[in-house]
Amino acid sequence: MKRVLHWFRRDLRLHDNTALRQAVDSAAEVIPIYIVSEWKGAHRWTGANRQEFLCQSLAELAARIEQAGGKLIFRQGNAVRELALLVKETRAEAVYFNRDPDPFGREVEEELARVGEAQGFVVKSCKDACLHERGEVLTGSAEPYRVFTPYSRAWAKLPKDQPVARVSKLRTPGGIRSEPMPSLETWRIKMDAEIVPAGEEAARKRMTAFIASSLASYGAVRDRLDLSGTSRLSQDLRYGLISIRELFERCRERMETFPAVQRDNAAKYVGELIWREFYQQILWHYPEVLEDSFNPKFRGMRWKSDPAAFERWRAGETGFPVVDAAMRQLAQTGFMHNRARMITAMFLTKDLHIDWREGEAYFMRQLTDGEIASNNGGWQWSAGTGADAAPYFRIQNPWTQSARFDPDAAYIKQWVPELRDLPAEKLHVAPASGLPIARGYPIPMVDHATERERTLEMFAEYQGATAMR
């Protein structure tokens, strides 16, 4: 072919990009395009932190494409309409893209295929955002897995695709109209957080550093809030700044050099990559989980609505130091440690009895790495309503969680400055009823032991009521 489009979506990189590689190999000229969404002001599933990370990543991608001899074109609006218009304007013969693992992209991809057939251009989609897509890991009866452990075993047995060569040269024809590079002003939003550096180069540096220095100890320290033991690659996978194939392959190669203990530690990280794909296939096959509980026993369950309590949780003013530290970290950086996500989610649902969907939506608006499948899966796991979730009677105690995973209170003191002068042991024990831990710090808004019993009663009563229907 002479000329084709490559539609960038969640694959903002030149290294190991399946559809881009195929586009470059198939045509003399490639027109890279990114289509900017046109919502304004507020969005249920995203916010300023993630959009700023996207903008910075796009700016770096545009520069890398220019260095390779091409030009990244920006258009704004309906994706299918804009792609079809650009095909017509440039007389391109095909549109290449990598498939979106979320069901939101399903209708767009299906419509583009119909338009391509009607208008006479080829539509070529590729697997790229995951190692195994929704239809690859199925039970013996060709059904999707609903429990993680058998899914992970089946996933591990399947052959993995190898990375493809980096695209180093591009040729894009001139004279193509392009919208300006997007910025937060495009969506009329503002950001106050200090987010992690964006772009493919920064992401690759993070990946290299993690594999070299932290992979071997991951399983031993991943839950420690006060240590830098996690990969911090979640936002990079979310936007495809790094390839899941390359990440997996580099981890596998490194693991072959480890002794048994370190290999087991590293295997825990690979397990997290499998959880990511497990939740992706759950959302794909059961999109209703965005509106209701995955577990049918708890569908229609009524949670409490308490705007004042939710606001204290959101602001990090609950009087529970580890919860407040985590919520303030999220507000200030657009990131939260995974263990802290469990603690804060379980506190909202099991101590405050507030609907998990409210917390889920707030996290999606704040997180730089917000990935809708993983976020939904994590919230439903904590609430006890999801796929392979923690049993509803498993209720984490915030006080013992902080003592276990932040023993010296370094994490708490980093994000809650009013507690920095207190000894660590005082921050892991509930104060006497009606008293704050320190002057100027909120009194704990609930008694954990009391709310734990109420949660058990709430779930038991709902199960009893549904059993009698």
Q: Note the pLDDT tens digit of each residue in 305-316.
A: 999 999 999 999
For the ranges 139-143, 364-368, 405-409, 458-462, which has the lowest average pLDDT? 458-462
pLDDT at 236 over 90: yes
Q: What span, in angstroms and rounded, lies between the C-alpha atoms of 370 and 355? A: 19
> Pick the residue with more confidence: 430 or 46?
430
Contact 458, 465 (CB under 8 A): no
Q: Same domain, yes or no, for 377 and 441?
A: yes
- Looking at 260, 285, 310, which one is the last position of a domain? 285
Average pLDDT over the chain, rounded to an integer: 95
Q: Is residue 300 part of a domain?
A: yes
Cross-strand bridge partners of residue 384? none
Round to whole Å and give the CA distance between 313 and 358.
11
Q: Print the domain residue range for 142.
A: 130-161+198-285
Retrieve residue 228's tokens: 């830098």
Q: What is the DSSP letter of 151?
A: H
Q: What crossing angle do the helices spanning 200-213 and 244-255 adopt, rounded to 10°? A: 20
DSSP 8-state secondary structure symbol assigned to residue 288: G
- pLDDT band of residue 429 (cuts 50, 70, 90) is very high
pLDDT of 25 above 60? yes
Show the CA angle centred on residue 231, arms to residues 262 and 213, nearest 5°. Answer: 50
Model confidence at 206: pLDDT above 90: yes
Q: Which residues are catalytic?
A: 272, 275, 303, 338, 356, 379
34-43, 284-293, 397-406, 438-447: lowest mean pLDDT where? Answer: 34-43
pLDDT at 466 over 60: no
Find the mean pLDDT for residues 11-19. 99
What average pLDDT score do residues 30-59 get?
90
**In this structure, what CATH number is given to the domain that contains residue 214?**
1.25.40.80
313 lies in the same domain as 454: yes
Q: Are residues 85 and 141 in the same domain?
A: no
Distance from C-alpha of 58 to C-alpha of 60, rounded to nearest angstrom: 5
Q: What is the pTM of this model?
A: 0.95
Helices (H), 347-437: 356-366, 372-383, 398-405, 410-415
Q: Are residues 137 and 119 in the same domain?
A: no
Indicate the residue type of 272: E
Domain identity same for 222 and 280: yes
The reported pLDDT for the residue numbered 46 is 87
Q: Check pLDDT > 70 for residue 467.
A: no
pLDDT of residue 347: 98
Instruction: Tell whether 232 and 366 lie within a shared domain.
Output: no
- The burial of 421, by beta-carbon neighbours within 10 Å (0-12 exposed, 13-18 middle, 19 or more buried), is given as exposed
54 domain-assigned: yes
Find the helix or strand (DSSP H, E) in which 75 lies: strand 73-76
Percent of the chain with pLDDT over 70: 98
198 pLDDT exceeds 50? yes
Q: Does 290 fall in a domain?
A: no
Contacts of 336 (CB under 8 A, 6+ apart): 326, 327, 329, 330, 344, 363, 367
What was the pLDDT predicted at 191? Answer: 85
CATH number, domain containing residue 329: 1.10.579.10
The confidence score (pLDDT) of residue 388 equals 81
What's the number of domains the chain is made of? 3
169, part of any domain: no
Q: What pLDDT shows up at residue 433?
A: 85
What does the pLDDT read at residue 468?
Answer: 43
Range 180-203 burial, b when 16+ CB lie within 10 A, else e = eebeeebbebebebebbebbbebb
The candidate with the shortest Cα–Cα distance to 442, out of 352, 317, 358, is: 317
Average pLDDT over residues 250-272: 98
Q: What is the CATH number of the domain that holds 59?
A: 3.40.50.620
Contact 170, 30 (CB under 8 A): yes
Single-letter code of the amino acid located at 178: S
Query: Looking at the structure, do residues 38 and 135 belong to the same domain, yes or no?
Result: no
Q: What is the pLDDT of residue 155?
A: 98
* One-letter amino acid of 94: A
CB atoms closer than 10 angstroms to residue 12: 25
pLDDT at position 445, please? 97
Q: Are residues 205 and 306 in the same domain?
A: no
Q: Is residue 291 one of the residues assigned to a domain?
A: no
Q: CB–CB of 373/104 below 8 Å?
A: no
What's the mean pLDDT in 432-445?
93
Position 464 scores a pLDDT of 56
> How many angstroms separate the CA atoms of 66 and 169, rounded?
9
Same domain for 452 and 321: yes
State residue 35 phi and psi, 5-degree precision. -105, 120
Query: Does residue 151 have a pLDDT over 70?
Result: yes
Residue 171 forms part of a structural domain: no
Last residue of a domain, one of 285, 304, 325: 285
- What's the sign of the alpha-carbon dihedral 39, 42, 48, 50? negative
Residue 49 forms part of a structural domain: yes
93-145 confidence digits (pLDDT tens): 999 999 999 888 889 999 999 999 999 999 999 999 999 999 999 999 999 99
Same structural domain, 141 and 250: yes
Identify which of 36, 34, 18 has the alpha carbon closest to the alpha carbon of residue 26.
Answer: 18
223 near 405, Cβ under 8 Å? Answer: yes
Choosing from 107, 128, 149, the residue where a domain stops is 128
Give residue-wise pLDDT tens across range 268-304. 999 999 999 999 999 999 999 999 999 998 988 889 9
Considering the domain architecture, whether residues 422 and 357 belong to the same structural domain is answered as yes
Tell whether 32 is covered by a domain: yes
Q: Does 389 lie in the same domain as 324?
A: yes
- The rounded distance, in Å, linking the Cα atoms of 335 and 279 is 20
How many other C-beta atoms can be found within 10 angstroms of the C-beta atom of residue 370? 22
Stretch 339-366: mean pLDDT: 97
Pick the closest to residue 74 from 47, 112, 110, 38 (CA basis).
38
Continuous segment of H or E residues that includes residue 85 = helix 79-90
> Chain-centre distance of CA 111, in angstroms?
26
Which amino acid, one-letter code, is at 321? P
